[in-house]
Amino acid sequence: MADRIPVLIVGGGPVGLALAGDLGYRGVKSLLVEARGGTIFQPKMDMIGIRSMEFCRRWGITDDVHSAGYNRDYIQDCAWVTNLNGYEFGREEFPAPKDEKNPLQSPEHRERCPQNFFDPVLKRFAGSTGDSEIRYRTELVSFVDHGDHVTATLRDRVADTTYDVEADFLVGSDGGDSTVRNRLGIEMSGEGALTYTSNAIIECDGLEDLHTTAPAYRYIFIGPEGTWATLVAINGRDHWRFSLIGDETQRDVSEDEMRAAVVRAVGREFDFTILSMLPWVRRQLVADSYRSGRVFLAGDSAHLTSPTGGFGMNTGLLDAVNLSWKLAAVIQGWGGEVLLDSYEYEQRPIAIRNVTESGDNLRRMLGPRVAKPKPEVFDDDSPETEAARREYGDAYTEAMKREWHSIGIHLGYVYEGSPIVVPDGSPMPPLTVQTYEQNARPGSRAPHAWLAEDRSTLDEFGKEFVLMRFDGGIDTGDLTQAATDAGIPLRLVDIDNAEVRELYGTPLTLVRPDGSVAWRGHDAPADPASLVRRVAGRQVLATLG
C-alpha cells in the first residue's frame, strides 16, 4: 500500500524548499523529492529580494541568511567597463549588505545570498518544522490525478528502485524543463530564447589586486561589438561567475574560449581556475495554466525569466507562500475550492509583469549592441574622447537605473480582481517599478509600520487571518464568531496608533495568512458569515455589505 502524504513537492530548489518550509510552518506535512543531490555548483540566483526577506523574517531565519556564507562586507556597486584594466563608463553605487539601510516601507532590506548558500538555509528551516521530509536523488517517474488524490511513482536513483506514494496535492517546482508541467501538457507563452549564454564559475584569490577598476559586485563589459559579458562576485571573496553573453544562436563554448574571454575581461593574463561551466538560455515565458486538478506549478516550472533584475526566484517564493496557506487551508478543512483556483488568478499576472520587466532590463543592458559606442571611446585618452566616454557612460547608467531600483516590483504587486479579495471601491494605484507607496487597499501587501522597537505590523501576520482594529469602539464580535463557526482561524489585534491607522486607511482591515489585505471597512460587515466564507474560498459574492 502506498504511503499517503498531504503534499508531494517535486523539485528541491529554493522555491520547493520554501514551500516545504512554509507548509511545515503551518503544521502541514510534505514530502519533497529532488532528482539531483543537494550540492549547488552553479548558483542560479544570488539576490534575496525585500519581500522574500520579509518571509525569512516571518520564518525566523534572517540571521541564518546573514551568516550563510556571503561576505557581507563586500561592496555591491555595479560598474560598466571596457575591461577591468581599461576604462570605466559608469557605475551605480550600493553599500555592502551589512551597511544597507531598510527602506521606510519594510523592516528588512534585500540581501546577497547565492543559491549555494540560500538552499541550505531553507533546507534547515524546512527540517526544523518537523513536518517536512526531503529525499535527494529521487525522481518523479509518473503521476495520476484520481480527483480526490494523486498517485506518484518515484524512483530512488541510488538504489534504482521505484515505489508509489499518494498525496492530497502535488506541486511541481522542478525547473524550466519541468517534468510535472510537461506531463500535464501545459504550454508556456512568451519568448523562448532571448540569448544563449555560457557561465563559468572561476576561482581567483585577490582578483581586485590585479586590476585598476574599483571593486564592484557586478561588472558589465562593453566592447566595440556592444555588451558581451558580465562578472559577478558570488561569495564576495574568491569565487566569481563569468557570463559570456551570446545571441539567439545556440553554440558550444570551449574551455579555451572561455579562458580567453575571462582574460579579455580582466585585461591581462593571470592565474585562475575554472571550477565549472554551464550553458543556459535566457527565456521570457509564463505557463498558460498554473493548475490542473490537484496538481500545481510554482517557480521556474511556471515562469522563466532573464536574471536581469533578480525577479525569478523571488517571484517563485511569492508563489510558494501564496500557494502554501491555501493548500494548508483545504487540507485542514476550512478552505474551499475557490481558494485553490485563486492561486493561478493571483500569481500568474504577477509573473507576466515580472518576466516582462526582466526581459526589458536585458534589452537595456544589451543596448550597446544596438546603439554601439563610437570606436574611438576604446582607443585614446584625449579630452574629446574622455568627454564622449562620459556622455556615453552617463546615458547607459541612466538606462540601467530601472533594474537596480525596483522596490515597486518586489512590494507593489496587487491581486486585482481576485475571487477571494473583497474590493472597497477605491481605484487601483499605478503599478510602479522604481518607487512604491504603501497602501492597504484590498489585494495589496499589508503595509509595514513600526508598532514598537523591532516590532513591525508585518510580524502580526503568518499563520491565520488577522483582523486589525484601529477603533476599539467597533464591535467585531459577530465577525470573530462567524470565523469560529466556520472553523477559520482569525485573530483580533487592537492597535492604538494614529499614524498606523492613517496608513491603513480604515478602522478595520482583514489580512490574510500570506500578509495580503483581504477586506477593509469603516464598520463591521453587515454579513460577516458571507465575508469569512468568501475570503476562505468557500463562497463568491458579487457584492458584500
Domains with residue ranges and CATH for the chain: 3-69+111-186+290-360 (3.50.50.60), 414-535 (3.40.30.120)
Cβ atoms of 167 and 150 closer than 8 Å = yes
- Does the pLDDT at position 298 exceed 80? yes
Find out whether 23 and 5 touch, Cβ atoms under 8 Å.
no
**Measured between alpha carbons, how far is 382 from 368 in angstroms, rounded to an integer?**
22
Helix (H) or strand (E) holding 514: none
> How far apart are the C-alpha atoms of 389 and 88, rounded to whole Å?
9
The whole-angstrom separation of Cα 487 and Cα 333 is 8
Q: What is the pLDDT of residue 542?
A: 45
Q: How many CB atoms lie within 10 A of CB 46?
A: 24
| Per-residue pLDDT at 53 | 98
Give residue 247's pLDDT: 84
Q: What pLDDT score does 540 carry?
A: 55
pLDDT tens digits, one per residue of 117-160? 999 999 999 999 999 999 999 999 999 999 999 999 999 999 99
Please tell me the predicted confidence (pLDDT) of residue 251: 87
Q: Which of 275, 318, 272, 309 lies closest to 46 in space, CA to CA?
A: 309
pLDDT of residue 123: 97
515 dihedral zone (left: phi>0; alpha: psi -120 to 50; beta):
left
What mean pLDDT comes out for the span 440-465? 97
Question: What's the whole-number mean pLDDT along residues 47-54?
Answer: 97
Band the pLDDT of 167: cuts 50, 70, 90.
very high
Burial 272-302, CB ≥16 within 10 A → b, else e: beeeebeeebbbbbbbebbbbebbbbbbbbb
Among 232, 367, 354, 237, residue whose Cα is nearest residue 285: 354
**What was the pLDDT predicted at 385?**
79
Which pLDDT value is given to residue 1? Answer: 58
Q: What's the chain's Rg over C-alpha atoms?
A: 25
By percentage, how much of the chain surpasses pLDDT 70?
98
Q: How far apart are CA 256 and CA 237, in angstroms?
A: 24
Please tell me the predicted confidence (pLDDT) of residue 541: 47
Q: Regarding beta strands 78-81 and 47-48, do their DSSP bridges make them parallel or antiparallel, or are they unpaired? A: unpaired
- What is the pairing mode between strands 30-34 and 3-10? parallel
Give the per-residue pLDDT at 249: 86
pLDDT at 449 over 70: yes
For 54, half-sphere exposure in the C-beta direction (CA atoms, 13 angstrom radius) is 27
pLDDT tens, 34-50? 999 988 888 888 999 99
Q: Which has the closest alpha carbon to 153: 170, 173, 134? A: 170
C-alpha cell at 517: 489585505
Report which DSSP code applies to 241. Answer: E
**pLDDT of res. 373:** 74
pLDDT, one tens digit per residue, over 470-484 is 999 999 999 999 999
Beta bridge partners of 491: 466
The model carries a pTM of 0.95
The CA–CA distances, whole Å, from 543 to 130, 424, 477, 530, 538 equal 42, 10, 22, 10, 15
Average pLDDT over residues 276-284: 92
Alpha-carbon distance of 467 to 390, in angstroms, equals: 54
Pairing of strands 78-81, 88-92: antiparallel
pLDDT attached to residue 6: 98
**pLDDT tens, 67-112?**
999 999 999 999 999 999 999 999 999 999 999 999 999 999 999 9
Contact at 8 Å (CB) between 442 and 422? yes
